[in-house]
């Protein structure tokens, strides 16, 4: 009986000591939040009267994330999953001309750190998706991108990525739909 109790205490101590420090990594902290953004999505569109307007964008998203720290307490990795709950695009000169993107599109972003500084960013999934009548989906990002997290320079890109590739046809279609 005494041996069972000692074994149970040893197992409990081992489990408690390993919480947050599994697989040779440091502590992992889960987070939930929301995110919003508003700004210019496509600049320099022209309407039928020669006026220049920007396509503006506003979105709301729920965010679930994990920050992983090394054994020295420095952040080593960050993973965030975004679910876009509201996404609207509009003409900067005439806000009544608008389109809705998504909703429900998902994206995952991963950042890697060295000595507490972000060194890589990877994203996967449908960042934006707009369905235009007579044209089909645009900005339906289906690939995987690796970016410099400081300059946002695209280091690697696979799949179809209108936003990161600067797809002129998609930009023109969006401008035309909102003029």
Residues in Cβ contact with 160 at an 8 Å cutoff, skipping those fewer than 6 apart: 140, 141, 142, 143
Give the pLDDT band of residue 107 (cuts 50, 70, 90).
confident
Burial of 55 (0-12, 13-18, 19+ CB in 10 A): buried
The model's pLDDT over 126-179, given as tens digits with 9 standing for 90+, comes to: 666 788 888 888 876 667 888 888 888 888 888 766 766 677 888 899 999 999
What is the reported pTM?
0.71
Structural domain includes residue 7: no
Domain count, the chain: 1
Residue 100: both structure tokens together: 């809705």
What is the C-alpha to C-alpha distance for residues 106 and 86, in angstroms, rounded to an integer? Answer: 12
Helix, strand, coil fractions of the chain, as percent rounded to 5: 20, 50, 30
The model's pLDDT over 70-97, given as tens digits with 9 standing for 90+, comes to: 998 999 999 999 998 999 999 999 999 9
Structural domain includes residue 154: yes
Structural domain includes residue 17: no
Structural domain includes residue 142: yes
Residue 55 belongs to domain spanning: 25-177
Structural domain includes residue 1: no
Structural domain includes residue 18: no
pLDDT of 9 reads 43
Q: What is the mean pLDDT of the chain?
A: 82
Structural domain includes residue 19: no
Question: Is residue 18 pLDDT above 60, yes or no?
Answer: no
pLDDT of 25 reads 63
Structural domain includes residue 64: yes
Q: Which of 26-30, 53-57, 98-102, 141-145 has the highest mean pLDDT?
A: 53-57
Of 158 and 21, the one with more pLDDT: 158
């Amino acid at each position: 009986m005494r041996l069972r109790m000692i074994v149970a205490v040893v197992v409990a101590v081992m489990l408690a000591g390993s919480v947050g420090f599994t697989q040779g990594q440091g502590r992992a902290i889960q987070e939930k939040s929301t995110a919003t953004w508003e700004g210019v999505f496509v600049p320099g569109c022209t309407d039928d009267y020669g006026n220049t307007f920007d396509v503006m964008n506003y979105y709301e998203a729920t965010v679930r994330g994990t920050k992983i720290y090394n054994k020295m307490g420095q952040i080593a990795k960050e993973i965030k999953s975004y679910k876009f709950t509201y996404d609207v695009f509009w003409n900067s000169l005439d806000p009544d001309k608008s389109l809705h993107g998504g909703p429900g599109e998902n994206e995952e972003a991963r950042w890697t750190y060295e000595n507490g500084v972000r060194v890589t960013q990877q994203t996967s999934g449908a960042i934006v998706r707009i369905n235009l009548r007579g044209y089909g989906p645009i900005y339906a990002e289906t690939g995987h991108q690796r970016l410099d997290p400081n300059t946002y320079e695209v280091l690697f890109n696979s799949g179809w990525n209108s936003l990161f590739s600067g797809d002129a046809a998609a930009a023109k279609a969006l401008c035309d739909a909102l003029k």
